[in-house]
């Protein structure tokens, strides 16, 4: 245990960032910072072959990064110094690497299609994992084939997943992504926000006779989810009349059996998962129930299979040929040496439109930390700001700043080679823009080129400095398998960065304080006399709201 003084001092001399390799990297940075990608490409016709990698159906081209072969070598030495390989094994083998919660980190066991034993506290978790998967498959099959009937004998048509954070973003993103694989009768809906508008608007269009609710919450205590779940229960009972009908219309996904029973859901209709599954890593668990309902057990198995294939690659490939490690170390290069503050995620794919949102939680809740795993305050940058939207829309919104602003913004461009709709001309336009943007960001346009283009004066605003780094991720097609690979790729990237920054990526204490304060403030909003217990700003706002409050 560290002392408070140590905790505040940022003096953890053991961390990779205080090892000689980082001094070497800082020195190397001085020799690379002014190199232009345009020149690096001109000097090396093999740059694409040198700096690209295919794993299964995903091609990663990382040649448009501000690196040389030496950069990569040094970054891999940093990864080795951080013992990425050792920590990786600790994670896969179920060691309790989530040290603040004393938990294993085993989302990889959820998709362990090889079914090799994975031990937690001396017990193989695979039989339980497989049993829940089977339970999900059987239940989903009954709903999908119309055998599971609502209280008036009609098959289910709408499924509402009530959850937030990891109990919402993952399943929602995958549901959108796998539209082509959906069951034709079933629509999934996702309610997360405790703004009543979300639940009211959603329920307005639904028929209680044919609606199934999944209350998805690891803890089954999250205020937003439980408030919405109770509202949905009331809404249902007002129409169905009889509590006995709840069993046909409410199921739960949770680690908390007592709370599920307390809510009034038959625990026979509960799908279990375990404390070694982090919320933001839980779409592979029973939290993925809405995915199984939408696309079926076989496609869910393919999603798990894709993730498992990425797990195998991550676990076995040498660091310098390891896709998650490469992506992670490039991110470290920009964050800690170039001083980049953010990382853009730009899917050129309508079906991946929620990927940036999903990765915001996955990455920022994992690595948005300033105290390391040994309780020392860090003195280097950790997790970047993750942001983005679908590429084409972004082009017409914020790309201006990436091209000509004053900040360095590394960007991941993601696309699949196959037109999901069969609209090939649309897809060629999409692909052309994808390529044009990465080329323009990399190459830019010099003053001479701009003048030679016959651009009218003033010319300077039309010059592009270029030298903006990007990764291109090209999927053969967006399928359950390739999506599983892609998500697992990012999960492991986040893991590697967490190790290099000496973080515990699997807790999220930073969200707790706000939750506690909200609980304290909520009753004060109904106080009959002025609230004076906070700072002047918070008091002022509370009292202003009290005057306007409509309830
Ligand atoms: O508050 C953050 C968080 O704990 C996330 O980590 C989690 O995904 C989300 O809340 C939802 O939690 P639960 O599944 O327990 O409702």
11 pLDDT band, cuts 50/70/90, is: low
Taking 70 as the threshold, does the pLDDT of residue 2 lie above it? no
Which residues, other chains included, contact 260 with Cβ-Cβ below 8 Å and sequence gap of 6+? 215, 220, 252, 254, 267, 270
Atom 1, ligand 1: residue with shortest CA distance: 511
Q: Do 331 and 493 contact (CB within 8 A), yes or no?
A: yes
- Model confidence band, residue 225 (pLDDT cutoffs 50, 70, 90): very high
> Is 218 in the active site?
no
The rounded Å distance from CA 133 to ligand 1 centre is 22
- 365 is a catalytic site residue: yes
Instruction: Name every protein residue with a CB atom under 6 angstroms from any ligand 1 atom.
Output: 164-167, 217-219, 222, 225, 279-280, 365, 508, 511
The pLDDT of 26-51, averaged and rounded, is 98
Which residue, judged by its Cα, is nearest atom 16 of ligand 1?
217
141 and 297 in contact (C-beta within 8 Å)?
Answer: yes
Provide the 10 A C-beta neighbour count for residue 406.
5
Question: Residue 6: pLDDT above 60?
Answer: no
Averaged pLDDT, 100-111: 98
* Distance (Å) from CA 167 to ligand 1 centroid: 7
Residue 122 has pLDDT above 90, yes or no: yes
pLDDT of 335-361, one tens digit each?
999 999 999 999 999 999 999 999 999
Element (H, E) at 312: helix 289-316
Atom index in ligand 1 nearest the CA of residue 169 equals: 8
Q: For residues 21 and 76, give the distance between their C-alpha atoms in angstroms, rounded to a whole number.
A: 10
Q: What is the average per-residue pLDDT within 188-207? A: 97
Which is catalytic among the residues 365, 443, 468, 493? 365
Instruction: Specify the pLDDT at position 9.
Output: 55
Q: Return the best residue to mutate from 166, 287, 516 for the ligand 1 pocket (most ligand atoms within 8 A of CB).
A: 166
Query: What sign does the dihedral 347-352-356-362 (CA atoms) show?
Result: negative
**Under 8 Å CB-to-CB from 70, ≥6 apart: which residues?**
28
- Annotated active-site residue 515? The verdict is yes
**What pLDDT was estimated at residue 293?**
98
Q: Which atom of ligand 1 lies closest to the CA of 219? A: 15
The atom of ligand 1 lying closest to the CA of 164 is: 11
Q: What is the pLDDT of residues 144-163, one digit of tens each?
A: 999 999 999 999 999 999 99
pLDDT tens digits, residue range 463-498? 999 999 999 999 999 999 999 999 999 999 999 999
The 10s digit of each residue's pLDDT in 392-420 is 999 999 999 999 999 999 999 999 999 98
Pick the atom of ligand 1 nearest to 282's CA.
8
Burial 341-379 (b: 16+ CB within 10 A, else e): ebbbbbbbbebbebbbbbbbbbbbbbbbbbbbbebbebe
Asked if the model's pLDDT at residue 3 lies above 60, the reply is no
Q: Would you state the pLDDT for residue 402? A: 98
Q: What integer best gives the mean pLDDT of the chain?
A: 96
pLDDT at 10: 55
Calculate the alpha carbon distances from 343 to 312, 323, 537, 549 in Å.
Answer: 26, 17, 33, 40
165 C-alpha to ligand 1 centroid (Å) = 5
């Amino acid at each position: 245990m560290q002392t408070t003084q140590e905790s505040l001092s940022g003096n953890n001399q053991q961390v990779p960032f205080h090892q000689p390799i980082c001094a070497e990297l800082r020195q190397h940075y001085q020799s690379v910072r002014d190199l232009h990608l345009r020149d690096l490409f001109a000097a090396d016709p093999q740059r694409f072959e040198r700096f690209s990698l295919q794993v299964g159906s995903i091609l990663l081209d990382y040649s448009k990064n501000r690196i040389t072969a030496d950069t990569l070598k040094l970054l891999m030495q940093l990864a080795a110094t951080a013992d990425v390989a050792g920590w990786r094994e600790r994670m896969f083998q179920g060691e309790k690497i989530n040290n603040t919660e004393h938990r294993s980190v085993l989302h990889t066991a959820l998709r362990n299609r090889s079914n090799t034993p994975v031990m937690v506290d001396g017990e193989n978790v695979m039989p339980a994992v497989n049993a829940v998967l089977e339970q999900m498959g059987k239940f989903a099959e009954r709903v999908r084939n119309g055998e599971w009937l609502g209280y008036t004998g009609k098959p289910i048509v709408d499924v509402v997943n009530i959850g937030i954070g990891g109990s919402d973003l993952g399943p929602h993103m995958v549901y959108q992504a796998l539209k082509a694989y959906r069951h034709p009768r079933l629509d999934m809906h996702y309610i997360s926000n405790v703004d009543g508008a979300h639940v009211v608007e959603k329920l307005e269009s639904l028929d209680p006779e044919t609606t199934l609710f999944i209350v998805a919450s690891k803890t089954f205590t999250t205020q937003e989810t439980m408030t919405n779940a109770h509202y949905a229960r009331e809404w249902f009972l007002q129409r169905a009349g009889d509590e006995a009908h709840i069993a046909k219309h409410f199921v739960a996904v949770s680690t908390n059996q007592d709370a599920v029973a307390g809510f009034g859901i038959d625990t026979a209709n509960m799908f279990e998962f375990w404390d070694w599954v982090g919320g933001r890593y839980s779409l592979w668990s029973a939290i993925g129930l809405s995915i199984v309902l939408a696309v079926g057990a076989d496609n869910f198995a393919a999603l798990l299979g894709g993730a498992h294939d990425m797990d195998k690659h991550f676990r076995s490939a040498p660091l310098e040929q390891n896709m998650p490690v490469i992506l992670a170390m490039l991110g470290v290069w920009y964050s800690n040496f170039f001083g980049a503050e953010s990382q853009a995620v730009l899917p050129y794919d309508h079906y991946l439109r929620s990927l940036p949102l999903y990765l915001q939680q996955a990455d920022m809740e994992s690595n948005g930390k300033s105290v390391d795993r040994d309780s020392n305050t860090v003195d280097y940058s950790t997790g970047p700001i993750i942001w983005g939207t679908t590429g084409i829309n972004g082009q017409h919104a914020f790309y201006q700043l990436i091209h000509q602003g004053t900040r360095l913004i590394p960007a991941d461009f993601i696309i699949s080679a196959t037109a999901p709709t069969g609209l090939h001309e649309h897809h060629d336009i999409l692909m052309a823009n994808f390529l044009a943007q990465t080329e323009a960001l990399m190459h830019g346009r010099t003053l001479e080129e701009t003048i030679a283009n016959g651009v009218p004066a003033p010319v300077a605003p039309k010059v592009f400095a270029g030298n903006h780094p990007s990764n291109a991720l090209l999927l053969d097609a967006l399928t359950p398998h390739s999506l599983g690979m892609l998500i697992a790729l990012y999960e492991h990237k986040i893991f590697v960065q967490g190790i290099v920054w000496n973080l515990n990526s699997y807790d999220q204490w930073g969200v707790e304080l706000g939750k506690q304060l909200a609980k304290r403030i909520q009753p004060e909003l109904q106080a009959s006399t002025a609230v004076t217990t906070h700072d002047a700003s918070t008091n002022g706002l509370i009292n202003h709201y009290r005057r306007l409050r409509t309830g």
